[in-house]
Amino acid sequence: MKIVNARIIVCSPGRNFVTLKIETDEGIYGLGDGTLNGRELAVASYLTDHVLPCLIGRDPFQTEDIWQYLYRGAYWRRGPVTMAAIAAVDMALWDIKGKALGTPVYNLLGGRSRDGVLVYAHAHGADIEEALDDVGKHLEMGYLAIRVQSGIPGVASTYGVPTSNRPYEPAERGLPSESRWSTEDYLRHVPKLFERVRNQFGEQVALLHDCHHRLTPIEAARLGKDLEPFRLFWMEDPLPAELQEGFALIRQHTTTPIATGEVLNSIWDAQELISCQWIDYIRMTLVHSGGFTHLKKIADYAALYHVRTGCHGATDLSPVTMAGALHFGLAINNFGIQEHMPHTAETDLVFPHSYHFEAGYMYPGDAPGLGVDIDEKLASTFPYHRAYLPVNRKMDGTLFNW
Ligand code: KDG
Ligand code: MG
């Protein structure tokens, strides 16, 4: 089998997605996701202008060799644009492999290791009362694990909480919006939120929280200690992820489990986080970390150090990545949990898929390959719109982490 064509489809059914379609001389095609929120066209160009011409004529079964060709062969390594582009190719090749062999991708990754993939939902509210209502709704929907974020008194808008009636979607069309941030107000508020959630919903539900990179190590240590009575499943991204040893300080002070890595791209970015056991869950995901070929190595490395996976699964990861994450999560031994943030109805129509949610778990389905397709005609009715994530400043105007 040979690759005869490869092209990019950029569409925006509610938000932007970059999808790669690789076609073979046997009529089988594969899909890959290359979406990088707010920088989509950089990946599209990297693929179209620099990568896709090199794929024509290659054997799509050579996933390892093609991965190394794109990673080592470029000379310039790592980084979100490069790794999202490599991921798109890798995903599409595994999709082709599965279709050619007539089997779901999870069977190529080791086969089923569990019955279903535990997922966590997002609950949020403008204040604690609204957040509690939303937790209740998600429990009724069958979720067993719920991330909880709420508005903070004195802070006009914050990560994870919608400012309108629409479902939360951080990227906005037009130029980046700006918000203001107070760490002091946040640190006072979050323990109160989780005290109320535990009091109302009891011990059974797994609770998660995303700090979204906004604390220093000692602030994160304090929050972790304050949250200990409420037994969180994890505290996510307490710090910006570049300084791996920053996590050591948090670890010295708290037993609240730590998850990080959604902005990391290679095994080298997380090497100390994992080998020093500074984290409990690694959040790298297929699209931003080089696809199955690389993420499998990261997961196997993490397994040596008792670190489990908790792959990023926000709406900027397309249904192609979501499908891939479910195959991956079903197959590997050290799976922890998978994020699930449902896509818009339009997105689900553009990307028909065989995965589904039931009673707290998701299932990839048994279709050969990834089990996800793209309706190109419908996709063409949702053209690309430039969109950005917000920018965040401290109350005095200092530029800060969003
Ligand atoms: O594009 C950025 C989002 O994917 C990110 O802000 C979502 O932190 C996030 C999460 O945990 O889902
Ligand atoms: Mg996050």
| Res 42: pLDDT | 98
Q: What are the backbone dihedrals phi and psi of residue 363, each rounded to the nearest 5 degrees, phi first?
A: -135, 130
Q: What CA–CA distance (Å, rounded) separates 147 from 125?
A: 12
| Res 166: pLDDT | 82
Q: Ligand 1: residues whose CB is within 6 Å?
A: 37, 170, 210, 212, 262, 312, 314, 316, 339, 389
- Compute the residue count for the chain: 402
Domains and CATH numbers, the chain: 3-104 (3.30.390.10), 108-366 (3.20.20.120)
Count CB-CB contacts under 10 A for residue 169: 17
Residue-wise pLDDT for 197-255, tens only, equals 999 999 999 999 999 999 999 999 999 999 999 999 999 999 998 899 999 999 999 99
Residue-wise pLDDT for 107-158, tens only, equals 999 999 999 999 999 999 999 999 999 999 999 999 999 999 999 999 998 9
CA of 134 to the centre of ligand 2 (A): 19
CA of 68 to the centre of ligand 2 (A): 29
Q: Which H or E element spans position 399?
A: strand 399-400
| Res 165: pLDDT | 78
Pick the catalytic residue from 122, 212, 213, 343.
Answer: 212
Q: What CA–CA distance (Å, rounded) separates 65 from 393?
A: 44
Count CB-CB contacts under 10 A for residue 252: 9
Q: What are the backbone dihedrals phi and psi of residue 276, each rounded to the nearest 5 degrees, phi first?
A: -90, 0
Q: What CA–CA distance (Å, rounded) separates 241 from 238?
A: 9
CA of 158 to the centre of ligand 2 (A): 13
User: What is the side-by-side order of every strand in the sheet holding 29-33?
Assistant: 3-11, 17-24, 29-33
For the entire predicted model, the pTM comes to 0.97
Residue 12 has pLDDT above 90, yes or no: yes
pLDDT above 90 covers a percentage of the chain that reads 97
- Angle subtended at Cα 274 by Cα 37 and Cα 206, rounded to the nearest 5 degrees: 70
How does DSSP classify residue 372? Answer: B
| Res 164: pLDDT | 81
| Res 376: pLDDT | 98
- Is 212 annotated in the active site? yes
Dihedral (Cα; 321, 364, 334, 265), 10-degree rounding: 0
Question: CA nearest 54: which of 41, 66, 42, 44?
Answer: 66
| Res 84: pLDDT | 98
- Is 168 annotated in the active site? no
11 CB-near residues (< 8 Å, 6+ apart): 17, 19, 350, 379, 380, 382, 383, 384
